[in-house]
């Protein structure tokens, strides 16, 4: 059973052990904890733990104060020296990384030094032929007040970047600014004359190029700025009319096909209620949108996170980072899981008053229709998710209450409750935090990035963060899922990977899958992590692993007019085209199915070739067609069908977050 202390590293685990020691006699401590089972609500649980004397005395071991030690001008200067040495040695990548670290470490009031470091990083990027990224840093350095006597260098570099990008109007503009800026430089007359001549020559040549006027006219209409870092565009959320959320006593809430679903259909596009990046990726990915950034923007106060753009930085600061700034390293050092951080971010993303006003209605049960009709950012959309409070033991509740208290202390230390926190307000948020920790445990999704090694062709999906998707959280699990999920930034896309008949469940996968894990292992994992026994077809019929699927039979669907659901297994060497179903006694003509098997070989080869050449959209369509014709006549589990599904999933993953490592 996963608890906040399943990860036994970090100071929170140490705090817990000290707390148990302070409690004294083991029997007395356990007796206190066992009384939590008498509490009927999260409010009662928090209030009960708060009044335990040994918990109160242990609070001295859990003081939380925001930390901003990572911002240091001396440290930044030392890193800058190393970056400059790497630059002189033409170690461009090393220099770029070090200049970024220096920039991240500089306090915001050191604007003069920041613009120098950014200008130096732009020079490194120019040598790496990352021209657009170079332009972004040049603009930032100029905006921060780069020294007038040196600014001509940035304008010349800007011109060279635009030239490399074949953007001639902006090249001309940059060269003109370079010429003007030389008036403020300390260049000798000879050097000024040479640079002026070079710039004028380029301007004259480009003005005579017919492409310049065409580009200028096009740019006037489109207003594209290559020197602006842009955040990942927000995608429009979408729930397909093919998806219906139903409810019954056995399965709870779940997704069902409102009509026949074809393979490859987009069923859901959803932005997260909240998302949190793993610490491992905090210096390579934008905290706000999870996009990798070569030229990150720093937080003015801390050096713990990065942003892809000023837009993402400002959005994060306005929404949640104003309360997490200085707290993030404490969360990491505590050993708290990403689920715990997600709980904190839920509250950091909304003002205190919002939750206090909503709290009296939080336990009112809503129908699936009412839930889906709520605003996208309404806390009730996640607060009503499954949390299995009736199955929790007192010891489990105790650990969750302690974590809720710690996270609430983090909020309090960052000013969430104002200058004079009211005890009843703190306890109200703590009880909602406890509720959040419970539903997050069963309803969080990993956000992934596909890592590709082009030299070997190897691909691997990497866990970079966690998020809650309120609509997707209503989908049930199957070890033979009908959908695949992929991500663009933090936005999740759900697409079908096989036909799903109207009325049947649309199930996703929570981790264990029948092609890779044996039934006993899958069942054990689902009970441990999600507290239920899986009853999907793959579990009920104990489908073999992919490597054990029989290849000496073809599984045809019975096509009898009586809607028989039986499977007719036929060896590939069978010479009979008419086969009798042992279940219903009717006959099926398998000639069509045998013809399909012949056609699929050619289609599979074509799909693989398209995939290997990077034509993922075309490969995707080929595998969709392949699955469609297979599913008409063949019944899973079947090796060729499994392989085609995997190829289809791989195509979808390549439409999302991708990182090429070679």
Domain-ending residue, one of 222, 252, 272? 222
110 occurs within a structural domain:
yes
Beta carbons of 430 and 46 less than 8 angstroms apart: yes
Statement: residue 582 has pLDDT above 90: no
Confidence of residue 1 (pLDDT cuts 50, 70, 90): very low
Domain-ending residue, one of 176, 205, 222? 222
Structure tokens at 218: 């096009």
Domain-ending residue, one of 222, 255, 287? 222
User: Which DSSP letter does residue 318 get?
Assistant: I
SS3 233: coil
Statement: residue 563 has pLDDT above 70: yes
- For 40-56, the pLDDT digits (tens) are 999 999 999 999 999 99
Beta carbons of 466 and 480 less than 8 angstroms apart: no
**Which CATH number characterizes residue 91's domain?**
1.25.40.10
Closest CA to 627 of 654, 653, 649: 649
Q: Can you give the pLDDT at residue 27?
A: 63
Structure tokens at 491: 């936005």
Q: What pTM does this model have?
A: 0.92
Which position has the higher pLDDT, 61 or 155?
155
348 occurs within a structural domain:
no
Statement: residue 276 has pLDDT above 70: yes
| Angle ∠(97,98,102) on CA atoms, nearest 5 | 120
**Could you give the CA distance from residue 284 to residue 279 in angstroms, rounded to a whole number?**
10
- For 104-150, the pLDDT digits (tens) are 999 999 999 999 999 999 999 999 999 999 999 999 999 999 999 99
- The residue count for the chain: 662
562 occurs within a structural domain:
yes
**Could you give the CA distance from residue 147 to residue 112 in angstroms, rounded to a whole number?**
8
Q: What total of structural domains would you count in the chain?
A: 2
| 285-289, 367-371, 527-531, 548-552: range with highest mean pLDDT | 285-289
**Could you give the CA distance from residue 597 to residue 616 in angstroms, rounded to a whole number?**
23
Statement: residue 331 has pLDDT above 90: yes
94 occurs within a structural domain:
yes
- Across the range 580-599, mean pLDDT stands at 78
103 occurs within a structural domain:
yes
| Angle ∠(306,310,312) on CA atoms, nearest 5 | 65
Statement: residue 581 has pLDDT above 90: no
DSSP string, 10-53: SHHHHHHHHHHHHT-SHHHHHHHHHGGGG--SHHHHHHHHHT-H
Cis before 269 (ω within 30):
no
- Cβ neighbours for 220, distance < 8 A, ≥ 6 positions apart: none
Query: Do the bridges between strand 483-488 and strand 491-496 make them parallel or antiparallel, or are there none, so unpaired?
Result: antiparallel
- Cβ neighbours for 481, distance < 8 A, ≥ 6 positions apart: 497, 507, 508, 509, 513
Instruction: Tell me the CA end-to-end span of the chain in Å, nearest whole number.
Output: 40
39 occurs within a structural domain:
no
DSSP string, 501-568: -TTSB--B-SS--TTTS-HHHHHHHHHHHHSS----HHHHTTPPPGGGS-SS-EEEEP--TT----EE
Question: Which region among 317-321, 354-358, 480-484, 563-567 has the lowest average model confidence (pLDDT)?
Answer: 563-567
**Could you give the CA distance from residue 74 to residue 97 in angstroms, rounded to a whole number?**
18
**Could you give the CA distance from residue 215 to residue 223 in angstroms, rounded to a whole number?**
11
| b/e burial code for range 248-285 (CB count within 10 A of at least 16 → b) | eeeeebbbbbbeebebbbebbbbbbbbbbbbbebbbeb
521 occurs within a structural domain:
no
Closest CA to 128 of 343, 358, 298, 294: 294
Q: Given the structure tokens 């695949």, which residue do they identify?
A: 484
Statement: residue 7 has pLDDT above 60: no
Statement: residue 287 has pLDDT above 80: yes
564 occurs within a structural domain:
yes
- Across the range 208-224, mean pLDDT stands at 85
**Could you give the CA distance from residue 642 to residue 279 in angstroms, rounded to a whole number?**
35
Domain that holds residue 601: 547-660
Closest CA to 341 of 278, 427, 299: 278
Q: Can you give the pLDDT at residue 28?
A: 78
């Amino acid at each position: 059973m996963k608890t906040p202390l399943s990860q036994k590293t970090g100071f929170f685990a140490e705090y817990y052990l000290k707390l148990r020691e302070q409690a004294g006699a083991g029997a007395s401590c356990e007796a206190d904890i066992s009384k939590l089972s008498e509490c009927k609500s999260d409010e009662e649980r928090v209030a009960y733990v708060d009044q335990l004397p040994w918990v109160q005395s242990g609070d001295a071991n859990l003081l939380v104060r925001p930390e901003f030690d990572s911002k240091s001008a001396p440290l930044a200067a030392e890193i800058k020296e190393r970056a400059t040495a790497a630059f002189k040695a033409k170690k461009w990548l090393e220099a770029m990384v070090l200049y970024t670290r220096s920039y991240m470490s500089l306090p915001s009031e050191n604007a003069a030094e920041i613009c120098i470091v950014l200008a130096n990083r732009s020079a490194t990027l120019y040598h790496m032929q990352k021209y657009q990224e170079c332009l972004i840093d040049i603009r930032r350095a100029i905006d921060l007040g780069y020294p007038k006597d040196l600014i001509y260098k940035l304008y010349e570099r800007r011109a060279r970047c635009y030239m490399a990008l074949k953007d001639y109007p902006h090249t001309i503009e940059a060269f003109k600014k370079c010429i003007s800026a030389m008036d403020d430089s300390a260049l000798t007359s000879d050097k000024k004359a040479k640079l002026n001549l070079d710039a004028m020559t380029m301007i004259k040549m480009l003005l005579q190029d017919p492409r310049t006027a065409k580009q200028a006219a096009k740019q006037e209409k489109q207003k594209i700025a290559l020197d602006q870092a842009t955040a990942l565009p927000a995608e429009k959320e979408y729930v397909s009319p093919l998806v219906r959320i139903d409810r019954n006593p056995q399965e709870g809430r779940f997704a069902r096909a409102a009509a026949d679903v074809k393979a490859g259909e987009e069923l859901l596009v959803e932005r997260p209620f909240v998302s949190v990046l793993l610490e491992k990726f905090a210096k390579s990915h934008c905290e706000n949108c999870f996009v990798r950034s070569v030229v990150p923007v720093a937080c003015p106060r801390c050096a713990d996170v990065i942003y892809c753009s000023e837009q993402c930085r400002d959005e994060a600061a306005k929404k949640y980072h104003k309360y997490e700034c200085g707290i993030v390293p404490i969360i990491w050092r505590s050993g708290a899981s990403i689920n715990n951080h997600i709980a904190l971010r839920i509250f950091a993303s909304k003002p205190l008053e919002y939750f206090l006003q909503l709290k009296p209605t939080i336990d009112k049960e809503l129908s699936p229709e009412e839930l889906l009709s709520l605003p996208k950012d309404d806390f009730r959309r996640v607060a009503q998710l499954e949390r299995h409070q009736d199955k929790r033991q007192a010891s489990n509740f105790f650990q969750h209450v302690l974590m809720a208290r710690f996270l609430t202390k983090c909020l309090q230390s960052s000013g969430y409750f104002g200058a004079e926190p009211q005890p009843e307000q703190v306890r109200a948020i703590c009880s909602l935090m406890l509720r959040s920790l419970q539903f997050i445990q069963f309803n969080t999704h990993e956000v992934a990035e596909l890592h590709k090694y082009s030299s070997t062709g190897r691909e691997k999906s990497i866990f970079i963060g966690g998020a809650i998707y309120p609509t997707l959280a209503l989908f049930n699990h199957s070890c033979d899922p009908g959908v695949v999920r992929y991500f663009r930034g933090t936005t999740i896309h759900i697409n079908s990977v096989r036909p799903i008949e109207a009325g049947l469940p649309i199930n996703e996968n929570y981790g264990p899958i029948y092609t890779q894990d044996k039934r006993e292992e899958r069942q054990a994992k689902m009970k441990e992590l999600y507290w239920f026994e899986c009853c999907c077809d793959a579990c009920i019929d104990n489908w073999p692993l992919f490597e054990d699927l029989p290849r000496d039979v073809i599984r045809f669907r019975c096509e009898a007019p009586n809607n028989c659901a039986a499977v007719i297994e036929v060896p590939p060497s069978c010479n009979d085209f008419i086969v009798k179903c042992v279940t219903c006694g009717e006959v099926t003509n398998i000639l069509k199915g045998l013809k399909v098997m012949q056609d699929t070989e050619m289609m599979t080869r074509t799909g693989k070739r398209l995939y290997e050449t990077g034509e993922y959209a075309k490969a995707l369509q080929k595998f969709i067609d392949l699955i469609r014709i297979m599913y008409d006549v063949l019944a899973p589990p079947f090796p060729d069908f499994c392989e085609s599904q995997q190829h289809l999933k791989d195509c979808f993953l390549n439409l999302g977050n991708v990182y090429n490592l070679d």
